[in-house]
Structure 1
C-alpha cells in the first residue's frame, strides 16, 4: 500500500509532540548580494530573509520532531515492542531516535555507516543506544537494520521514509508560519526528503512556496522529479554525511508535484563550493556553526545558474528560476522583489575543526 501524507497528519503530529520538542527560533538576516557581499534586508530588491534556527533543536537537528512523533504514535497505539526500536541513519536520525527512545524508556539499536562523524557516534552512545557500524553508505546500514528488525522483532523506524517521520518534520513549517507573517518562500535542504515532504505539505496549505535545495552530486529528489518516480543516484558531496540518501522518499516526490494551476514546490541544485562558502559565512558573520547539510539551503542564495557565484538562472535555458514548475534543472534561487524568504538551518552535529 502506498504511504500518504496530508496536512491533517501534520496537525496531529503538532498536537502529539507539543511540549516535547523545542519551538523553533527565527532571526532576520541579510540577503546575499549579486557580488557575494551581503546586502541589508530592505535593500533595492526589497527582499526579506529569515533564518529558522532549527539546529537548536534537541539532538541538534529537526529529526527530533519526527522521532518523537513516530514513537509517541506507536506508544498511543500500543505497538511499541519489548525489543525496542531500530533505525539506520547517517547520524542525525539515529541521534533523534535514540533520544526519543530514551524519553520513552525503550531500547534503541542504531545502524550507521562506519564513516559517520565521530561526534555523532559519541552522542549516540551518550543516549544509551546500541551503535552498530556497517559498510560505508547508508544503503548498507539500512539493509543490516532491516535484517535485525526481522530477526529481533524490534520496531523499524526510518531516517526519512515514513509518514509519521515526515509529519513530525512538517511541524517545523507550522511554527515558522506563525512566527513570520506573510512568508512567501521557504528553502529546505534535501537528502532523502522527509523534511521536505513535511514542510512542503504544510507550506502548500498556507500558500507558501517550498524550494528543495540539493547538492548537485547528491540529487535524489531532483532525479526523482525528472524520472517521475524515486530512482537511485550516486552520492559524492561534502554534505553527503547528512544529505547522502541514494533514493528520495515518494512522499517528497508527491509533495513536490505541481498543482493543477502549475504552482507548487521547486527543485534547485547547488555546488559543493557554495555549500562550503555558506557554512563558512554563517560562522564568520553570525557565529552560527552548522553541518554542511544545513548550510545547503542557504547556499541556494549564493549560487548562479552555472553552479557558481550568485544569482538564479536556469542551467539549461538561462531563464530565471523563480517559476514554480519542476521542468529543467535549476541552480540556485534568487528572491523576487519584495519576496519574504525563510532558510531552514536544520542541523548542527558537526566537527568544529572542519570550519
Structure 2
C-alpha cells in the first residue's frame, strides 16, 4: 500500500507516520507538508530514510495531482487548527482547510484514490456543562470559530464529493488530542512546558470548559481501523471517554509534576470559548472493534510529561515567542 499523508510533519500527522512505520512495514509512506510553524522535518528526522518527504502546499493542484496519482490512499491531516490563531487571522484557515481540501478531493476524484479525511468534534459546536448528551455522527453542525467553521466546510465538501462524484472517502471527527510532538501553543503542552520553564501555568477563565481528551496514539489506531474496515461515505467519531474540565487537567499536570494544585494564574477567557465537547464513539467500537489503549488520563499525561522533559531541545527555542503572543492578548 502506498499512503500519502498530508500534514505528516504536524502533531497528529507525525504520530500517524511514526505509528505506521512501526506497525505496518509493508506500507510506503509519502509525507506532504507545508512546514508552517506547526510542522517540522525534525519530527521525522530519525525515520526520514524510511519515507518520502515533499515540502509543499495542499493548495498546489499540480503537485497534489502528481502525488495522489502515485498513491493508493490519502490520509488528509493537513489543516490550520488553532482557535486563537483563527480569531487573530482567519484567512489561512479558509485557504488551507477549504481550498486545500477541495484540491485534494479533485485529485482523488481524477485518479480514483481512496481518501480518509481527518476532522474535529469542534464542528458540532458545544454542549451545556450539565447536558448528558454527546456528539454523534448525526449531530447538526454548529461551529463557533473560523477554525471550526472551516473544518465543518471541509467535511461538507468531502460528503458532497462522495455523493455527487462517487469519491471513495471516509471521515472521522476526533476529540481533543494530546501527546508527543504537540505544539506548545496548545493547552496541555503549554502548561507542561510552563512548569518545566519555571513559569506559572495559565488557565482561561474559571477553567470549567470540558474537553474529551484522547491520546494521539489512540486517535491514530482508530484512523487505521477506519481506513482498513470503515464503510465508504461513513463518518466515525473518535473518542476515549476522557471528559475533564480544563481546571482538573491542569491540576493533574501540576500534581504529576510536583507542584501545588493552585500554582497557576487565571487569565482572560477566549472569545466564544466552547463550553463542553463529548464524543459518542460507539459506532467505531461496535462496527470496527476499536478500543483505546489509554483509558487512564493520568497515565497518558505521565507519558506526555516525560516526553516534553526528555525533548527540551524540541520546544525550548520557541517558548519565549509563544508566551509573548499570549501575554500580548492578556492570556
| TM-score category of the 2 structures, normalised to the smaller one | 0.3 to 0.5
> Which structure dedicates a bigger proportion of its chain to helix?
2
So what's the TM-score if we normalise by structure 1? 0.33
Of structures 1 and 2, the one with the larger relative CO (CA 8 A, separation 6+) is 1
So what's the TM-score if we normalise by structure 2? 0.35
